[in-house]
Amino acid sequence: MTVNRRQFLGAATVGIAGLYAPALVGQAKPRLVVVGGGPGGATVSKYVARDSQGAINVTLVEPEANFVTCFHSNLYLGGYKKFDEITHSYDALTKKYGVNHARKRAVRIDRDAKVVHLDDHSTLSYDRLAIAPGIDLKYDSVPGWGKEFETVMPHAWKAGPQTQILHKRLMEVPDGGVIVMIAPPNPYRCPPGPYERVSMMAHVLKTTGRGKCRIIVLDPKESFSKQGLFQAGWEKYYPGMVEWLGPKIHDGIKSVDPKTNTVVTGFETYKNCALVNVIPAQMAGQIAQEAKLAAPGGYCAIDAASMKSAADPNIYIIGDASIAGDMPKSAFAANSQAKVAANSIRGELTGSRVFPAKYTNTCWSLIDTDDAVKVGGAYEPKDGKISATETYISKVDESADLRKQTQGENMGWYSGIVADMFS
Ligand SMILES: Cc1cc2nc3c(=O)[nH]c(=O)nc-3n(C[C@H](O)[C@H](O)[C@H](O)COP(=O)(O)OP(=O)(O)OC[C@H]3O[C@@H](n4cnc5c(N)ncnc54)[C@H](O)[C@@H]3O)c2cc1C
């Protein structure tokens, strides 16, 4: 192909504009404020700061000094990981990439003035805002339970102290004790998460001489992610230990009583449980609700091509808080969405080239030592939503070698993705 002078100059202009042209002409450095330092927020902060090479001022609003990952918190419960190994610092974001870390909580967003109000009464102005606050729990979704009872009946659906409480309580369950897990209704963070947790609980009980314990899963859903794979695994490794009851069997979760560790369903009352793990219904983090970015279902609608809020062109919504079409709420998904958002934000603020959005996700689950399964896919914007272009799932009858290899991928994925987010 020959290129004439006019085409060459045109291409060169695009190239130079792609690198240097500031979209917000006449202003000092454009400002990106990011709310939430989980997989979504940490990734978008890092990628915008790193790839704009100082051309965009990036401030991450996150009250915590470290981030504890929910992903692989089940492996911590199962004894495969230490708590330190799922805890990550923001140091590289600040020291290596120049991200400002405001250790505050965002309490209000003034969308007209483009200002975020923080809990110390200070404010941050933005040109673009990325919100990745994860989920908040619907404390009133399980009758009798509430925030004041989350120590007695832990959820451990936000990692940190809750994860450690659940771990401690699990270690105290006596042989023969009954554990009840109340699983969440859709849509919720990490579709296979509750069932991987059941596997890890059973593994730890079995390997510490408590094989007479029973884990009863009361599910509001008729079916669940990787159901055939999990149920075959429970049968194989933990016979008689796990009972999964769907709504037609338990006839509704009527109430819990944290004082007596009792769970009442339409079918049966479980008294004096050794442990009750309540995973309630969920919604986008409070700040997204407060800013009126959430739809009636509790999550935030986005533009599938950019992760931009459907309600506000200056705001991006990343990760669990978003309505991401066919993508599940996962750390892998949040990381993938953050890269699409970072590319779009840099394009808007510096004129750099914006590539078509492509997303990926895989969720691995460990059932027992060296036996992991996975589900995943590739996704693109189609008809206004993020749609799967390819999907895959492990098979019930696959070989032990393949399961072991899948667990190898799982461990490798964790190391790779936390490095991509935090180092
Ligand atoms: C048991 C379990 C197992 C899981 N396993 C996997 C797995 O194997 N693979 C996988 O991909 N995913 C897994 N997940 C899901 C994954 O953890 C979440 O999907 C992911 O963390 C979502 O990232 P996020 O950035 O959207 O939100 P989050 O991780 O929740 O991060 C949100 C951050 O925002 C901060 N924040 C909230 N509100 C404010 C505010 N107002 N101001 C400032 N900061 C705020 C919070 O402090 C938090 O640090 C699992 C989840 C659970 C519960």
Q: Are residues 161 and 64 in the same domain?
A: no
**Ligand 1 neighbourhood includes 39 CB (under 6 angstroms):** yes
Q: Are residues 291 and 275 in the same domain?
A: no
Q: Is residue 114 part of a domain?
A: yes
Q: Are residues 301 and 270 in the same domain?
A: no
Q: Is residue 420 part of a domain?
A: no
Closest CA to 85 of 71, 100, 95, 99: 71
Q: Which residues of the chain fall short of a pLDDT of 50?
A: 1-23, 25
Q: Are residues 156 and 270 in the same domain?
A: yes
**Ligand 1 neighbourhood includes 330 CB (under 6 angstroms):** yes
**Ligand 1 neighbourhood includes 184 CB (under 6 angstroms):** no
Q: Are residues 124 and 145 in the same domain?
A: no
Q: Are residues 256 and 164 in the same domain?
A: yes
Q: Is residue 400 part of a domain?
A: no
d(CA 32, CA 102): 13
Domain containing 254: what range? Answer: 141-280
Q: How many domains does the chain have?
A: 2
**Ligand 1 neighbourhood includes 201 CB (under 6 angstroms):** no
Q: Are residues 124 and 146 in the same domain?
A: no
| Three-state DSSP class for residue 36 | coil
Predicted confidence (pLDDT) per residue in 359-405, tens digit: 999 999 999 999 999 999 999 999 999 999 999 999 999 999 999 99
Residue from 71, 200, 335, 410 whose mutation best tests the ligand 1 pocket (most atoms within 8 A of CB): 71
d(CA 94, CA 104): 15
Q: What are phi and psi of 14, to 5 degrees?
A: -60, -45
Q: How far is CA 326 from CA 25, 33, 55, 293, 333, in A?
A: 38, 27, 34, 20, 11
**Ligand 1 neighbourhood includes 41 CB (under 6 angstroms):** yes
Looking at the CA of residue 321, tell me the nearest atom of ligand 1.
Answer: 26
Q: Are residues 149 and 273 in the same domain?
A: yes
Q: Are residues 121 and 194 in the same domain?
A: no
Q: Is residue 381 part of a domain?
A: no
Where do the H-state alpha helices sit in 149-275?
A: 161-172, 193-207, 227-237, 247-250
Q: Are residues 155 and 109 in the same domain?
A: no
**Ligand 1 neighbourhood includes 74 CB (under 6 angstroms):** yes
d(CA 154, CA 276): 7
Q: Write the CATH number for 114.
A: 3.50.50.60
Of 355, 373, 406, the last residue of a domain is 355
Looking at the CA of residue 135, tell me the nearest atom of ligand 1.
Answer: 30
Of 355, 378, 405, the last residue of a domain is 355
Q: Nearest C-alpha to atom 21 of ligand 1 is from which residue?
A: 331
Residue 3 confidence (pLDDT): 35
| Three-state DSSP class for residue 75 | helix
Residue 6 confidence (pLDDT): 37
Residue 219 confidence (pLDDT): 98
Q: Is residue 366 part of a domain?
A: no
Q: Is residue 185 part of a domain?
A: yes
**Ligand 1 neighbourhood includes 154 CB (under 6 angstroms):** no
Q: Is residue 361 part of a domain?
A: no
Q: How many A from CA of 38 to the centre of ligand 1? A: 5
Looking at the CA of residue 107, tell me the nearest atom of ligand 1.
Answer: 41
As a whole number of Å, the CA-based R_g of the chain is 23
Residue 28 confidence (pLDDT): 87
Q: Are residues 10 and 130 in the same domain?
A: yes
Q: Nearest C-alpha to atom 33 of ligand 1 is from which residue?
A: 36
Looking at the CA of residue 318, tell me the nearest atom of ligand 1.
Answer: 26
Output the DSSP codes for 80-111. Answer: SS-GGGGEEESHHHHHTT--EEE-S-EEEEET
Answer whether 262's CB lies under 8 Å from 399's CB.
Answer: no
Q: Are residues 74 and 196 in the same domain?
A: no
Of 234, 253, 280, the last residue of a domain is 280
Looking at the CA of residue 328, tell me the nearest atom of ligand 1.
Answer: 19
**Ligand 1 neighbourhood includes 190 CB (under 6 angstroms):** yes
Q: Nearest C-alpha to atom 17 of ligand 1 is from which residue?
A: 70
Q: Is residue 360 part of a domain?
A: no
